[in-house]
Structure 1
């Protein structure tokens, strides 16, 4: 049998609990439901550094932040004497590795590389469609903007094609473009073109949608698909638990979400759901194109997200915490022709711990040359050839700073350490799936085990600065000065409010 085609479909800020086939009866996702029926659902999948830039470097390298040097939305920078260049310390990017295995590779969508707007990631065809443009050159190099400028100049006057940001970041909106001309539709169209033309080689395709990342601006009619009065209010815990992570208070203010009430939260979520259902239709068109090919059964598809969004749960907005709404992600994999060997029967749910690092190994193993790197051999676990991962480690924030924090998932337990204040949280996710109760007193033995594992985890290169000799480094709790982020059209010279 020829090597399988491999198609990775990634969304941005897509919560784990927003798929109808997996229990959310408020939302409609018929095409993602098709993927659920086509293969496996991993119920315990995580983004180990739940924010855009580091998550994407993890996907393309199979490495955790300790090696990528990207611990938050920042320019990657190696620590602890590791090589300066990303690929020197991490190895080839995924697209390059797949090309070496004889694949035609294409990547279309949001890549969020830094500091370069359009870093060469190794694809035969790479079309960047980014959410922000820092300068006129970035805008000119964006594949989607180039399409609008050349093919539909009647929309060229729009400053922010994906919706207004700044103070409108969490304000419900409608797309300024019709459904057939949004960036999501553009990405789907370009992917379908590739699926129709690639014949002589197996393909590795990476599809990266910007949505449902805010601003939540679905096109007509998806903007009015969901009634906010039919959506549940946010889940909030005790402030002394929810606000233990200073990042939440700081981030809420940063993106103009510190005064949103229950109605505003339901209203935002109605458009967030609308954006998901709209993206679902775009995914459906891609799946139709896959199924129209003779080799559709020999196509491995994986659907996942870089992280989630609190959407008001735990008094929080955005991501960058280790509450489930932020770091727990959807993770679906299917491969009909490989089902017998790898036990990928459709509609089955798996409880093993998986994360974004595992994607590198899934693709390269399916191609015949497994490179597991910092991940785990998920396919071998499914085939009964290896034991599943017992413990999952995660970190966010540059080691040695107050923003550094870690998360450990082991069994039904989740442990979180925050250097700012040296604070700890311990949740039992079966007894307390909503993470409302701390177990740090009643379960002292579990806490001792987690502390030791945390200290051992930070003993590797790239994380050494998180330790202070034989204990975790901590700082006196301090809240950072708060300010608003201005996300105007910088490429058009717009930097602040006013008539500039």
Structure 2
């Protein structure tokens, strides 16, 4: 490694699917700046969010601990102040302790809102609101408000230069120009392409809906084996079985891709600011998302599912001084590994629950053997009780095992031969199911999610149709990005 410790910059997006980076073979979306990052470094093509929803993913990054360790498996609004006492300093504080100047800009999604996450300088949505009002923009217009329309195509009247994503890039550019003798650690956290799918002109008609890929549709018994998928459809004003017409789905996809391309422009400004620095080659940039989006695939919308489109994320690493450019890495990667990436680059590696990805890339450490995910929705009602709604995943080699407590449903997919996950092989490969089920049991034993066990096996409840009710802000609070 270089004798001087590198800068470390995390660039995080919200709800961005893995298949939205043009240079990785997904030519239905235009991402010249992410493509530039691919060419500049390593693209990890099997990266996952272990609990594919906002809060646990962010705790995952800041603690370096799996969701089954932190106990945050869904968008739980419990205070997170205790996590440092339980698991060690948050990542920003850990980098401060290693002599780094630290800053964070954008979305943090931690409770309480004013929690100290360890940054020297932190700018949030409140700071954007103050900026927006100063230039005569209604900041609430940049967020989704009505779940009935949140997953439908929309346009924003806010010019691109005044959107929150542009403000995040503005503030990041300023931080990257700041003079300081210390190396920096920064988290740049964009809140798009999370719904509402409302790109600004010209990005709102950048894509022809007729060119958008058709949604993946398997047998309904396969697509909806996780009862949370149809329940979530209904909650967000879709039909449970998703009767959204093909044209509407394509238009929604075109607007989602428009947001990705608009966001790519802002990511490009951040990369330009990095490359303008004298130490650009010794700056480690990690680009990733907190989770994906079904976007009509498998008759579903939103996240929380363990289908690839929801749980697999883009994950790009660039460190020209140390990592080979233009490389593809197909080993398993988790958001949990990010803590170790930053601290290892800083010269004092601390993996916690993560694997040593930098070591795997340089041949000094073994690749991750297995990846476990777990999710449950923290809503205490008779119809939607914990842990009735919990689901889990084990990914090993090309196999993916998915388990749903509701009904004790099991699925097994061979992603090598069936990347679209339409053929459930659980009845055909019982030995593989037994092995991966056993791995899940061992992962859960003694963890903060041990309630999902029943003795030496997995908890199973009689199948029950879940009714989350319709989303209403007066009941659930504003639909925050």
Q: TM-score range by the shorter chain?
A: over 0.9
User: Residue 383 of structure 2 aligns with which residue?
Assistant: none
Deviations 1:51-95 (A, max 9, x none): 0010000000001122222110113489xxxxx821111210000
1:317 aligned residue (301, 316, 334) = 301
Deviation for aligned residue 1:347: 0.9
User: Residue 220 of structure 2 aligns with which residue?
Assistant: 239
Deviation for aligned residue 1:390: 1.1
> Residues of 2 paired with 1:358 and 1:490: CA distance?
32
User: Residue 139 of structure 1 aligns with which residue?
Assistant: none
Q: Structure 2, unaligned stretches of length 5 or more?
A: 379-385
Q: Does residue 337 of structure 2 align to residue 358 of structure 1? A: yes
> Residues of 1 paired with 2:161 and 2:186: CA distance?
22
User: Residue 382 of structure 2 aligns with which residue?
Assistant: none
> Residues of 2 paired with 1:179 and 1:489: CA distance?
32
8 Å contact 2:68–2:444 — kept in the other structure? Answer: no
Deviation for aligned residue 1:490: 9.7
8 Å contact 1:163–1:176 — kept in the other structure? Answer: no
User: Residue 50 of structure 1 aligns with which residue?
Assistant: 52
Deviation for aligned residue 1:260: 1.9
User: Residue 155 of structure 1 aligns with which residue?
Assistant: 137
What SS class does the counterpart of residue 374 from structure 2 fall into? strand
Q: Does residue 41 of structure 2 align to residue 39 of structure 1? A: yes
Cα pair distance change 1:489/1:30, threshold 3 Å: farther
Q: Does residue 171 of structure 2 align to residue 190 of structure 1? A: yes
8 Å contact 1:163–1:174 — kept in the other structure? Answer: no
> Residues of 1 paired with 2:350 and 2:250: CA distance?
43
Deviation for aligned residue 1:397: 1.5
Q: Does residue 287 of structure 2 align to residue 267 of structure 1? A: no
2:189 aligned residue (183, 208, 225) = 208
Q: Does residue 465 of structure 2 align to residue 475 of structure 1? A: no
> Residues of 2 paired with 1:41 and 1:124: CA distance?
30
8 Å contact 1:40–1:334 — kept in the other structure? Answer: yes
> Residues of 1 paired with 2:106 and 2:366: CA distance?
35
Cα pair distance change 1:163/1:448, threshold 3 Å: closer
> Residues of 1 paired with 2:143 and 2:270: CA distance?
21
Deviation for aligned residue 1:463: 2.2
> Residues of 2 paired with 1:330 and 1:71: CA distance?
21
8 Å contact 1:11–1:209 — kept in the other structure? Answer: yes
Please, what is the CA RMSD of the aligned residues? 1.9
Deviates further, 252-261 or 437-446? 252-261
User: Residue 136 of structure 1 aligns with which residue?
Assistant: none
Cα pair distance change 1:163/1:320, threshold 3 Å: closer
Deviation for aligned residue 1:464: 1.8
What SS class does the counterpart of residue 350 from structure 1 fall into? strand
Deviations 1:274-297 (A, max 9, x none): 100011010111111111111111
What SS class does the counterpart of residue 191 from structure 2 fall into? strand
Q: Does residue 55 of structure 2 align to residue 59 of structure 1? A: no
Equivalenced residues, count? 467
8 Å contact 2:28–2:212 — kept in the other structure? Answer: yes
> Residues of 2 paired with 1:481 and 1:352: CA distance?
38
> Residues of 2 paired with 1:320 and 1:11: CA distance?
16
8 Å contact 1:404–1:420 — kept in the other structure? Answer: yes
Report matched runs for 1:14-163 at 5 Å: 14-76=16-78, 85-114=82-111, 116-129=112-125, 142-149=126-133, 151-152=134-135, 154-156=136-138, 159-163=140-144
Deviations 1:233-268 (A, max 9, x none): 211110011111010011001112324221111111
8 Å contact 1:162–1:175 — kept in the other structure? Answer: no
> Residues of 2 paired with 1:386 and 1:347: CA distance?
21
Q: Structure 1, unaligned stretches of length 5 or more?
A: 79-83, 130-141, 339-343, 496-500
8 Å contact 1:67–1:89 — kept in the other structure? Answer: no
> Residues of 2 paired with 1:39 and 1:126: CA distance?
28
Task: Give me the TM-score of the superposition, normalised by structure 1.
Answer: 0.90
> Residues of 1 paired with 2:459 and 2:268: CA distance?
48
8 Å contact 1:71–1:396 — kept in the other structure? Answer: yes
8 Å contact 1:160–1:489 — kept in the other structure? Answer: no
